[in-house]
Structure 1
Amino acid sequence: MNVYLDNAATTQVRGEVIEKMQEALALSFGNPSSTHSFGRTSKTIIETARKTIAQYLNAKPQEIIFTSGGTEADNMIMQCAVRDLGVQTIITSEVEHHAVLHTAEELAKLEGITLKFVDLKDCGTPDSDHLEALLKEDDSKKLVSLMHVNNEVGNMIDINAVANLCKQHNALFHSDTVQSIGHFKLDVEETPVDFMAVAAHKFHGPKGIGFAYIRRNSGLKPLIFGGAQERGFRAGTESVHNIVGCAEAIKLAYDNLDEEKAYVSDLKKYFIDQLNSELPGCTFNGNSEDFEKSTYTLVNVNLPVPENKALMLLFHLDIKGIACSKGSACQSGSALGSHVLNKILSDDELKRPSVRFSFSKYNTKEELDYVIKELKEFANN
């Protein structure tokens, strides 16, 4: 049996999305910047996709800037905020995605901005009281960057509370929402977030496409120069078929959200119950066992496997056809382990293997039973 439980890394593209993309590739091949009918057709498709995405976020179409994905969007927003908006201090956390952490570190090194980290609670969630204290420390222009849903342990911040706190203290707020858009409803008129980064492949869309949400009249200027694409904000010929796929994926995600959220939540609950029953001694990292404080799409579990066997666990699961992760996919080539787990686990806990299992509408309880069986067999032999 082959079981894919690494949906936090990337998701299977929906069949309906593939059909729309194939149609665009076959029929809408004109350059969107061309003035003839072929180009105008492609341009219309892009603007229709932009309006579709904006509608689901209650945003304005001009606030959606297509990018190659979340990493580019994070980089664009943070670098341009420092360059164009006079940001002097970036406040973030040590459990952010490296697209944010490494960008912040480079800006501190190259631009001389002050970099501050919000304290973490024991579970790994940023401490809102400390965030408020940091916002009050001085009068420097600040950018707060905190992800909505942590990609490794699933912890969720109260994005409304953080956005309003930043607004109260005249700070800009950027959120990497790569793990939440398409899985949770977010209304940018109700939640005063200034900037967001989104990637289509996290909600059953294609890889290599995403968008930056940039609140209108932000003052940001282009990071990539050239033509006038994306209203002059991001030069380069648009990837029409990928943009079509992104819009169709977000449409299907939100049109089916209630049903699919209930289904995936039930899978997660079932998996947690089976782990507790069949592998006594396992513990859950962060808030991943708590449905109120974490996403319903993943669980990160610390397994009762001795240190001498820990390194072989993922290899064993892979041999058995099971795809999962010890951390984010972006960390898979690193020998340092998860920077998130290194911050929140004890030395003893770090000696035992932690695995992230992430779910989608395409998974079944039968698949989860198979995974539990293999985990149990590995732990007990």
Structure 2
Amino acid sequence: MESLKRTPFYDLYSAYPESRCIDFGGWELPVQFTGIVKEHEAVRRQAGLFDVSHMGEFMVTGTGSEAFLQKMTTNDVSKLEDGSAQYTLLCYPDGGVVDDLLVYRLGEERYMLVVNASNINKDFQWLQEHLTAEFGGVSLKDVSEETLLLALQGPLAETILAEVTSAPVTALKPFHFTEKTVVCGVEVLLSRTGYTGEDGFELYAPHSAAATLWNGLLAAGAPHGLTPAGLGARDTLRFEARLPLYGQELSADITPLEAGLQFFVKLDKGNFIGREALLKQKEAGLPRRLVGIEMIDRGIPRSHYPVYADGVKIGEVTTGTQSPTLKRNLGLALLEAAYSETGSEVFVEIRGKQLKAAVVKAPFYKRTQGVKPQ
């Protein structure tokens, strides 16, 4: 695994004898520290600390930055104010997804984009290709290799963070951030978004601050049950909350509308790449929809398992597992629209057998109805 990339936190993983790393998109990353279910439950009840430094960060600056991002992304960048962020997507002309990402407005004509690790090079090239003469005042810079990113997630995240910063974290609203905020003695960009279905914060800082932030946050969080968490728990947590993962719920072959992300596609904001195709798809009616499914027969639906109804294949599972929180065998599946109504009977092929399932409502977990902190 010597050729795999490592984050600035890699050397700190060895403090956890049960930690196990895997190849994740060319990165050597921990799938677990103490156990996936244990880490999942910690985030639902107390808090978890995730090293997500493999994510990519691009700076978009200069005259015309807002207009450029309006053309490139599906959401309405003009609605952002300084210190606010939004979830959005990059689309191909046919409506398929290049990537999903966050856009942070740092100031007038100054933005940061946070993209998926496996798509860093592809996204940067896509943006550069469309940086035409009309956007001649725009500068695009990839700062991924100099930026660390930690995610502190869970119902006690705010309590823990308040112990290591004098910043008024309680006043920081969701999808807002502050720059030059001192946490554990380190100056960070502190945001409040999340990818687990729980409250949470992100800390962006230079690589040199890795050990100080990691050790400081874990020390402050120890009395509150804070634990390091790996990719395994990150995936089960986001799945329960119906948050998409690029390459599974989103891809070049799946549009944001099919994935149920209409809220983040502002067809009335003006022209953007993919708008015409998405508008046509909306007007014609969606051919497929991403839905929740629950197994009735005994079995666990897994990614890419085919789904049948009336004797024909109608789609496939995008993500599935036994939910650690709900203890039910659940999945997300992209199905033909005719079979997407809640209660529809479908069959998932598992090890050569078609096992009965039903279309159910998703997200499977919402914070307001979930496990309360202990």
Q: Given the two structures, how large is their TM-score scaled by the length of structure 1?
A: 0.28
Name whichever structure is richer in helix by fraction.
1
Bigger RCO of structures 1 and 2 (CA < 8 A, at least 6 apart): 1
**TM, length-normalised to structure 2:** 0.29
Relative to total residues, which structure has the larger strand share, 1 or 2?
2
